[in-house]
Amino acid sequence: MSKIDIKEMALSLVTGMLVGIVFKALKFPLPAPPNIPAFMGVFGVWLGSTLVKN
């Protein structure tokens, strides 16, 4: 795995929050899992692909 870049993670978090705010303001459905188990499923897909890639 590559070294974690804190600045990149912070920018990703801020961007995601801004997208969430804009989507809610425009009354669009959120482009994210609606609950923690769904989020963990997406995370599991990412983790599995990362483990296989390396």
41 HSE (CA, 13 A, CB side): 7
Residue 27: predicted pLDDT: 92
In a domain, 28, yes or no: yes
What integer is the mean pLDDT of 44-49? 87
Number of separate domains in the chain: 1
Distance CA 40, CA 20 (A): 19
How far apart, in whole angstroms, are the C-alpha atoms of residue 1 and residue 32? 25
Residue 36 covered by a domain: yes
> Which residue range(s) make up the domain with 17?
6-53
pLDDT of 54: 61
- Average pLDDT for residues 24-41, to the nearest whole number? 85
Question: Distance (Å, rounded) from C-alpha 24 to C-alpha 45?
Answer: 26
Mean pLDDT on 24-39? 85
pTM, full prediction: 0.59
- Backbone phi, psi, residue 5, to 5°: -100, 110
pLDDT band at 25 (very low <50, low <70, confident <90, very high): very high
Q: Does any domain span residue 1? A: no
The verdict on residue 47 lying in a domain is yes
